[in-house]
Structure formats: C-alpha cells, structure tokens
Chain A
Amino acid sequence: MTAPRSDQWPLWEVFTQPPGGEPHQHAGSVHAPDAEMALQNARDTYARRGEAVSIWVVPSSAITASSPEDSGPFFDPGNDKPYRHPQFYKVPRGGSSE
C-alpha cells in the first residue's frame, strides 16, 4: 500500500449518466477535498458539454477491485458448460436475445 500524497486531495471516481436514460457509466476520476467539490470538479471535467444528465461521485478508496490474478477463476467459468448460460430464454429487456 502506498500512502496518499499529502499535497493531494482525495481521489473520487466519477460516474455519469448520458442523456437518454442509459445507466451511469464510469467516466474517470477527479481530486477534491469533499463530496460537493468532487461533484463540481466532475461536472467541469466530464459533463460540461452536455454529456450527462446525472453524476455520481464515490471515494476511490470505497471501491474494492478484483485483481489481475483473479482473472482466471473469476472470469473464465468454463465455456464448456453450456448449462451455465441461460441463452435458451428470451431476454425481457435491453436488446436482442440472439
């Protein structure tokens, strides 16, 4: 673990929702002293040209990420077991089931 640099404000992850109702997506990160300023910095950095209708900010330290070593066990669950993939059903929302 590296200690945060004392001359930097905490880091915040920014999620913006595009116009049109899609879910929030990760846009990037900003430094800010607190949540309100993080929102403002996020607005100025990622949403000034109408790219978003809603912004979430969350302290980067609150996010737990999977590590690259996990990629095998986490994300390669055995494509030889088709019963794990319920693609025999119609998907009720969000695009084609094909």
Chain B
Amino acid sequence: MTMSPPLFEYLLRLGDDRLVLGHRLSEWCGHGPILEEDIATANLALDLLGQATLFLRLAGQVEGAGRDEDALAYWRDETGFRNLQLVELPRGDFGFTTMRQFLFDAWSYHLLEALSRSEHAELAAIAAKAQKENRYHLRHSSEWVLRLGDGTGESRARMQAALDELWPWTGEFWYQDAVDASLRAEGIAPDLEPLRAPWEAMANDVITRATLTVPGGPMRMTGGRAGRHTEHLGHLLAEMQIVARSHPGGKW
C-alpha cells in the first residue's frame, strides 16, 4: 500500500485527525450558539491544532525529507491525508458537532493514555501533553451531551439524530493494518483492540444517562487511513490551504 516508513504514516494519522477536526471546530468561530461556547469551541480548536502541530512536526523529522508541519498541513492533497473519515464530515448543527466531539474525545482519551506509555520517548511525551488537554475536552463534550440529550424535546431529537448518523463512522476508530502491526512489535504503538471495550463503556455510560440510544446496524466502510476520503475533505482542504498555496512562504 505504501512505501513510507511506518512511524511517519502513524504520525500523519495522529496529526491529521486533530488538524482536520480542529479545522471543523474552528468553523464555529463567530457562529457559536452563545458567546461563552463560541470561546470554548475556539479553544478546543486551538488545542487540537497545537497537538496536530507537534505530531506533524515529528512526522516531518521522522520522514527526513525536509518537510515541516506547515509543508505537511498545506501541501498535501486529499489522498495524502490519513485522518478518520469521521472528523472530516461537515460540522452540522451544534448537536452534531458536540456528539462527534464526545465520541472522538472518549476514543482519544484511551488512545493517548496508551500512547503515553510508548517506547518512543518523544511520541509518549506529546501524547501525555495532549492527554492533559483532552481530559478537559472530554469533560466539556460529555457535559454537553448530557444536557442536550436529557434536555428539551428538540435538543434530544437532534442529539439522537446526530448519534444515529455518527455511530457507524466510529468503526474506523479500530482500523489497524501493517503500519500498526510493525509499530506494535517495537512497542511504539498500542494494540487498539483492547481499547474498544473501555471506550464503548465510557460512551454508553454518557449516552445512556443522556437518555439516548446507540443505534444498531452496520458500521461504515473505512479508508481514511489509506487516503480514501468522503467528498467533504477536498472542500475542507481547499479552504484550509488556499492562503498558504496562494502565497507560498508568506509570513505575517
């Protein structure tokens, strides 16, 4: 599938998840439902952008081809991105954004916890730093899921609709291939499978208390880790990359 070194690929996955999700959150800036939440959402976006910066910078160093985090963020095309399809879906209404954030934060919580024990010291340090922020993100998104799910008739209906739409995309959380296998063997990356039950327990606890129901039915196809994306990523990148590409090397 790929000739890139496994660690480079792996770091792109970690960085791209956060870069793309951070961009989606940043779209709320100036459009939040209330001033305080507008600020909170922008803060979450900045945290994710900061985490993406660290993962992509390390990816560039591992690759050793002279690409820094900006080159990786702004000069790759759709097929070069390795993020989960879940994070590239349009932001939807505030309920959709909140539900996605919760599902991702809970997954990220377990992943970062495991990654902070990686044999790769720098990766472990970045994961530990990101986990500090992620704990707060998870608290924020959980509290919102509880309030909107167990809220008014309309907020509950919107949250259930968001969950029905998003849940099938969470199958990709557990996608693993030769990249993971090779890094697992070196103790750099964790096996994702044992994280699945704790994640489901965490998600179910909040979802149940929010009086919502996890939908049945099949999971979606995966592909993000191999560069196969929904129609939405291209549009997102067009907006995210236009300034950097119009003014290469520009500073302000």
Contacts and interface: CB of A to CB of B under 8 A. Distances in A.
Q: Range of interface residues on chain B?
A: 10 to 19
Given A40-B143, A43-B136, 14 more contacts: A9-B34, A31-B34, A31-B35, A31-B36, A32-B36, A34-B147, A37-B147, A40-B140, A41-B37, A41-B40, A44-B36, A44-B40, A44-B43, A48-B43
Interface of A: 9, 30-34, 36-37, 40-41, 43-45, 48
A40 B140 CA distance: 7
User: What is the predominant secondary structure among interface residues of chain B facing chain A?
Assistant: helix
Contacts of B140: 40
Contacts of A30: 36
Contacts of B36: 30-32, 41, 44-45
B40 A40 contact: yes
Contacts of B35: 31
Interface of B: 34-37, 39-40, 43, 136, 139-140, 143, 147
Contacts of B136: 43
B145 to A, nearest CB: 12
Contact of A45 (B39, B139, B143): B39
Contacts of A37: 143, 147
A40 B139 contact: yes
A34 B147 CA distance: 10
A68 to B, nearest CB: 28
B139 to A, nearest CB: 7
Nearest to A40: B140
